[in-house]
Amino acid sequence: MMKTIEMTVIVDESRKLILQLPNGISPGLHQVVLVIDEQPQANDSIDSENIDAAFAEMVNDSEYQIEARQIESEFAVIETQRKAI
């Protein structure tokens, strides 16, 4: 089953995109389709200093760290299983 999630995100200068998905999304390997405006929204322009601050705040969040470790562990297991096939 596919789920549509609409959100406004920040794309940094290196074109990296960091998403915080809702709790209803199970950890693991997912296929994602990204639809993006070719031009950024003018009123949502954020300089790199603010992007770095937002990222630092998210990374220092203990719940984020726990979820990130769980996802990394589960992804490693899935990758190992996939390579064994």
Q: Which domain holds residue 68?
A: 1-17+47-85
Asked whether residue 42 is assigned to any structural domain, the reply reads: no
In a domain, 30, yes or no: no
Is residue 28 a part of any domain in this protein? Answer: no
pLDDT in tens, 29-74: 988 888 888 777 665 556 666 777 777 777 677 777 787 788 888 8
Mean pLDDT in residue range 10-39:
84
Domain count, the chain: 1
Count of H helices and E strands in the chain? 2, 0
CA–CA distance, 63 with 77 (Å, rounded to integer): 21
Q: Is residue 23 domain-resident?
A: no
Judge whether 65 lies within some domain. yes
pTM as predicted: 0.40
- Is 25 domain-assigned? no
Joined together, the tokens standing for residue 75 give: 């992804």
